[in-house]
């Protein structure tokens, strides 16, 4: 398993106008020192609505580093609704086309489709119709992702954040309905825990899984949660049962990313190795 951290230039510099590109060296060096295999940025980092020249600044800033931005999250802004009466798939697909091309250009291999703001079903709109809208959108997105050479991992969220795709099992049903090799699934331990979803649903997802997220209790960095430790062993054991051995990103909060990132990666790798014996 390869482990990474969800972060971005804003991890070290306040987000002001444009990209805080001066923070890139410190960020990438910190992640390298921590032992991350890759980093995961938000799609907004590639500025899909800005001219190419703006994106080129980010690309050049990342170029000196061997570590790549292999994964991206927070894909589609709420301004591009894909469900409900105001859904405009053509406009959203155009946004995605630019975003995926730029993600690929700096090393992206997988983009997470959570995007609750864009997919959440408005009050009074039929859930069955919204689900069909999501399936139709993903069917349009598949060939765009294929052209970019990048996978999409549909992210089931929790019911406080979303009302459409709750649970890994529900996400698997959407993936099956889309039936495109570039539209696959993510499992996130935080959302599963929030919903008390059985971890066995991860094993049942089988070959659909393309990416994973984890965090400790209350989204703290592993080893820093006051409430105790999340069930990383159970999560990893079920990932092994699914035959999954790609990437797992920590997605949560830091008090001090420079201090906490290395021990959290050490703990996650330890639990991954322990999960092999636990599943025996």
Tell me how far the alpha carbon of residue 178 is from its chain's centroid: 19
What residue numbers bound the domain in which 186 lies?
2-278
Q: Are 247 and 110 in contact (CB under 8 A)?
A: yes
What is the pLDDT, as a whole number, of residue 10? 75
What is the pLDDT, as a whole number, of residue 17? 42
Neighbours of 181 (CB within 10 A): 10
What is the mean pLDDT of the segment spanning 34-58?
Answer: 96
pLDDT band at 24 (very low <50, low <70, confident <90, very high): very high
Query: Helix-strand-coil percent breakdown of the chain, rounded to 5?
Result: 50, 15, 35
Neighbours of 61 (CB within 10 A): 19
Is the confidence at residue 236, as pLDDT, over 60? yes
CATH, residue 153: 3.20.20.150
Give pLDDT tens digits for 98-123.
Answer: 999 999 999 999 999 999 999 999 99
Pairing of strands 110-113, 151-154: parallel
pTM: 0.95
Domain total of the chain? 1
What is the mean pLDDT of the segment spanning 202-218?
Answer: 94
């Amino acid at each position: 398993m390869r482990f990474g951290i969800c972060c971005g230039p804003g991890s070290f510099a306040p987000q002001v106008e444009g990209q805080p590109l001066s923070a890139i060296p410190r960020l990438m060096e910190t992640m390298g020192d921590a032992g991350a295999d890759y980093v995961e940025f938000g799609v907004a980092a590639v500025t899909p609505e800005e001219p190419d020249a703006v994106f080129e600044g980010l690309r050049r800033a990342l170029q000196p580093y061997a570590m790549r931005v292999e994964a991206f999250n927070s894909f589609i802004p709420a301004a591009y609704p894909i469900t409900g009466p105001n859904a405009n798939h053509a406009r959203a697909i155009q946004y995605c086309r630019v975003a995926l091309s730029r993600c690929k250009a700096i090393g992206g291999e997988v983009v997470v489709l959570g995007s609750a703001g864009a997919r959440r079903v408005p009050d009074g709109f039929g859930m069955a119709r919204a689900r069909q809208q999501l399936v139709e959108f993903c069917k349009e997105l598949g060939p765009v992702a294929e052209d970019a050479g990048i996978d999409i991992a549909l992210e089931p969220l929790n019911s406080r954040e979303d009302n459409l795709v709750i649970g890994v099992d529900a996400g698997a049903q959407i993936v099956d309905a889309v039936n495109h090799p570039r539209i696959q699934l993510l499992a996130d331990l935080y959302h599963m825990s929030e919903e008390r979803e059985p971890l066995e649903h991860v094993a049942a997802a089988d070959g659909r899984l393309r990416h994973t997220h984890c965090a400790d209790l209350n989204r703290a960095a592993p080893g820093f949660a006051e409430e105790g430790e999340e069930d990383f062993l159970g999560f990893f054991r079920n990932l092994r049962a699914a035959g999954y051995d790609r990437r797992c990103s920590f997605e949560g909060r830091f008090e001090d990313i420079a201090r906490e990132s290395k021990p959290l990666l050490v703990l996650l790798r330890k639990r991954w190795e322990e999960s092999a014996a636990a599943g025996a």
